[in-house]
């Protein structure tokens, strides 16, 4: 007899995930830190009604993110390690972005019916206010990704890094926490490049060189030892994705390295990993042409650009990284 266990589990996972997001939005895990608190004290700190807040607190406790004893709540082991923003292992930096992505996911059927993205996001056409708002939303996650990449790569011999299409450029902030002597450049579309300096200054990184440009059209005006492309290739149509990697290679010095990262990557059979498969659906709602490209496509484009020793790895935040080196 066929059971509905898989379907039931999928449906049941949605409310739990949304409770997690609400906890991140309110900053509950960071507020708790290593202490315990009642719904009354948390409600006062968050300026929300304690009785209503307690519903969320008990929901988070029911899924193991909080522990509760005698009406006092504290972070569970995973929440303490990964959801407290004061910890270097924090995984919730993208929760504002997650709100946007999950909202878009609800429109997949509509995007298919209309044959167009129902929640279209166009970086090139964004106005100054929209570019600033979206860049600020990306900024905390950029710092966290930079920290993860800094731990995964030995940059002791790297003198100059360019972050291509890095939004506010805060990847470079996280990177330099571990490798402070590296010279850093952000290359972004003009609308984003215009707002990036103010955001970088807020992170104490006013010395980042910000260069306006389009990597699908031309390389950077400078040459660097390492080029980072985070979540860039996956938002482009195939011809532009190919050109972006070709031009990124032209930004590098001889022997230079590239790190192409994102969660929009799928295996050649297109059945995994799950984050790449389902982000591919999200792309239907956000971009006219972006998609989760296969490992084979990435390797082909990188090989054409002249990269050797191409390797695929996974960072602690779940991002896939393709690395390669020029001769």
| Of 45 and 289, the one with more pLDDT | 45
The pair of three-digit structure tokens given for residue 295, joined into one six-digit string:
């490992």
Model confidence at 124, pLDDT cuts 50, 70, 90, reads low
- pLDDT tens-digit profile of 157-200? 999 999 999 999 999 999 999 999 999 999 999 999 999 999 99
| Of 144 and 62, the one with more pLDDT | 62
- pLDDT tens-digit profile of 191-218? 999 999 999 999 999 999 999 999 999 9
pLDDT at 306 over 90: yes
pLDDT at 114 over 80: yes
pLDDT at residue number 132? 83
pLDDT at residue number 100? 84
pLDDT at 123 over 70: no
Mean pLDDT of the chain: 94
Unique residue bearing structure tokens 């297109």: 270
**Closest residue by Cα to residue 142 from 317, 322, 274:** 317
pLDDT at residue number 122? 72
pLDDT at residue number 93? 65
* Phi, psi angle pair for 129, to nearest 5°: -70, -45
Task: Kindly state the percentage of the chain with pLDDT values over 70.
Answer: 98
Cβ atoms of 292 and 319 closer than 8 Å: no
pLDDT at residue number 35? 96
pLDDT mean over 285-296: 93
Model confidence at 317, pLDDT cuts 50, 70, 90, reads confident
pLDDT at 258 over 90: yes
pLDDT mean over 63-86: 95
Q: SS in 3 state form for the chain?
A: CCCCHHHHHHHHHHHHHHHHHHHHHHCHHHHHCCCEEEHHHHHHHHCCCHHHHHHHHHHHHHCCCEEEECCEEEECHHHHHHCCCCCCCCCCCCHHHHHHHHHHHCCHHHHHHHCCCCCCCCCCCCCHHHHHHHHHHHHHHHHHHHHHHHHHCCCCCCCEEEEECCCCCHHHHHHHHHCCCCEEEEEECHHHHHHHHHHHHHCCCCCCEEEECCCCCCCCCCCEEEEEEECCHHHCCHHHHHHHHHHHHCCEEEEEEEEEEECCEECCCCCCCHHHHHHHHHHHHHCCCCCCEEHHHHHHHHHHCCCEEEEEEECCCCCEEEEEECC
pLDDT mean over 66-77: 97
pLDDT at residue number 90? 81
| Of 307 and 85, the one with more pLDDT | 307
The CA distance from 128 to 266, in Å, is: 33
pLDDT at 94 over 80: no
Unique residue bearing structure tokens 């009642």: 38
The CB-based long-range contact list for 308-317 (8 Å cut-off, 24+ gap) reads 313/152, 315/145, 315/148, 315/149, 315/152, 315/261, 316/89, 316/148, 316/151, 316/152, 317/91, 317/144, 317/145, 317/148
């Amino acid at each position: 007899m066929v059971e509905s266990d898989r379907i039931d589990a999928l449906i049941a996972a949605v409310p739990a995930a949304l409770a997690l997001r609400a906890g991140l939005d309110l900053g509950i895990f960071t507020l708790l830190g290593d202490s315990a608190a009642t719904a009354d004290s948390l409600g006062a700190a968050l300026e929300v009604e304690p009785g209503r807040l307690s519903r969320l607190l008990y929901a988070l406790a029911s899924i193991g993110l909080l522990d509760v004893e005698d009406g006092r709540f504290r972070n569970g082991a995973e929440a303490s390690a990964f959801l407290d923003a004061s910890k270097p292992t924090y995984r919730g930096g993208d929760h504002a972005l997650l709100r946007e992505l999950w909202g878009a996911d609800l429109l997949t059927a509509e995007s298919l019916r209309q044959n167009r993205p129902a929640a279209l996001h166009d970086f090139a056409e964004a106005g100054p206010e929209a570019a600033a708002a979206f860049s600020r939303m990306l900024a905390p996650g950029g710092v966290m990704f930079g920290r993860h990449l800094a731990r995964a790569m030995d940059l002791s011999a790297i003198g100059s890094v360019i972050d291509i299409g890095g939004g506010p450029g805060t990847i470079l902030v996280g990177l330099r926490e571990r490798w402070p002597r590296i010279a850093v450049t952000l290359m972004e579309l003009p609308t984003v490049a215009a707002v990036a300096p103010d955001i970088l200054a807020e992170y104490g990184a006013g010395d980042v060189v910000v260069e306006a440009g389009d990597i699908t059209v031309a390389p950077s005006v400078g040459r660097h030892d390492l080029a980072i492309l985070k979540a860039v290739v996956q938002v482009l149509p195939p011809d532009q994705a190919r050109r972006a990697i070709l031009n990124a290679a032209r930004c590098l010095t001889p022997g230079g390295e590239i790190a192409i990262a994102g969660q929009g990557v799928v295996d050649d059979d297109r059945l995994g990993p799950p984050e790449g498969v389902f982000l591919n659906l999200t792309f239907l709602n956000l971009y006219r042409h972006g998609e989760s490209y296969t490992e084979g496509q990435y390797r082909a484009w990188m090989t054409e650009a002249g990269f050797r020793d191409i390797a695929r790895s996974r960072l602690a935040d779940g991002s896939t990284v393709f690395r390669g080196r020029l001769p």
